[in-house]
């Protein structure tokens, strides 16, 4: 995954340094409109963590000293990835965070990858604009099932994307989602389904991406 192409660079971000007071940090957060921003060291190179608006307000409401440095309420100090991190590392690190800090090969702060950008990347993997039907095929997880199912579909249609689900969740059921091209007609779809089920691969769901897009618009 080429993180450089999708992350927001440090120069385009609102950040605070570690000696910034909670009062000043709150002003910065209010002015920027963000719910949290990265905290960097005085050199602007080292990621220290994040400061959240809600935590400052809670601190203030409880009569806390607003002249304390932001590091007093620092969060997510260990939540970061590297420019060369794998997709799986990114996916399981970001979880419910609004963004994840990105470090370069020198452990310097490079920028952030937002949650919304990651979701957009996942959405692109469905090839919604290039696809027509998404068929969900269930199998019992036998070795070679993915290759066999792909071969059956490829006899009648191209495959624009494939995603597998449930790996590790159920010992007996695997679901594979195949996206067929935008020019796929209903007759071809029905032929694909018939051929798959003839080989005991159950098509458990079919989604028409064009109809779904029309409904969303």
102 plus 153 within the same structural domain? no
Q: What average pLDDT does range 83-112 have in this prediction?
A: 89
- Domain count for the chain: 2
Lateral strand order in the sheet of 16-17: 16-17, 36-40, 47-52
Q: Which pLDDT score is estimated for 1?
A: 55
Find residue 38's DSSP bridge partners: 50
182 has pLDDT over 60:
yes
Supply the range of the domain harboring residue 14.
3-121
18 plus 117 within the same structural domain? yes
Separation between Cα atoms, residue 150 and residue 178, nearest integer Å = 9
Domain boundary among 121, 139, 164: 121
Residue at token pair 């691969």: 201
136 plus 53 within the same structural domain? no
The 3-state DSSP class for residue 177 equals strand
pLDDT in tens, 196-215: 999 989 999 998 887 755 55
């Amino acid at each position: 995954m080429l993180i450089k192409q999708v992350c927001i660079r440090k120069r385009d971000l609102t950040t605070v340094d570690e000696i910034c007071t909670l009062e000043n940090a709150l002003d910065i957060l209010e002015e920027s409109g963000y719910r949290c921003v990265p905290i960097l060291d005085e050199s602007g190179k080292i990621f220290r963590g994040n400061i959240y608006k809600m935590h400052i307000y809670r601190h203030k409401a409880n009569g806390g000293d607003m002249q304390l440095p932001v590091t007093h309420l620092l969060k997510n100090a260990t939540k970061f990835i590297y420019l060369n991190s794998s997709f799986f590392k990114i996916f399981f690190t970001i979880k419910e965070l609004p963004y994840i800090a990105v470090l370069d090969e020198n452990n310097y702060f490079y920028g952030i990858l937002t949650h919304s950008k990651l979701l957009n990347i996942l959405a692109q993997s469905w090839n919604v604009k290039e696809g027509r039907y998404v068929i969900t095929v269930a199998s019992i997880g036998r070795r070679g099932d993915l290759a066999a199912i792909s071969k059956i579909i490829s006899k009648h249609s191209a495959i624009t994307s494939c995603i597998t689900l449930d790996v590790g969740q159920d010992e007996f059921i695997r679901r594979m989602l195949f996206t067929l091209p935008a020019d796929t007609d209903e007759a071809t779809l029905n032929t694909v389904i018939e051929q798959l089920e003839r080989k005991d691969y159950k098509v458990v769901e079919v989604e028409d991406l064009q109809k779904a897009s029309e409904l969303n618009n």
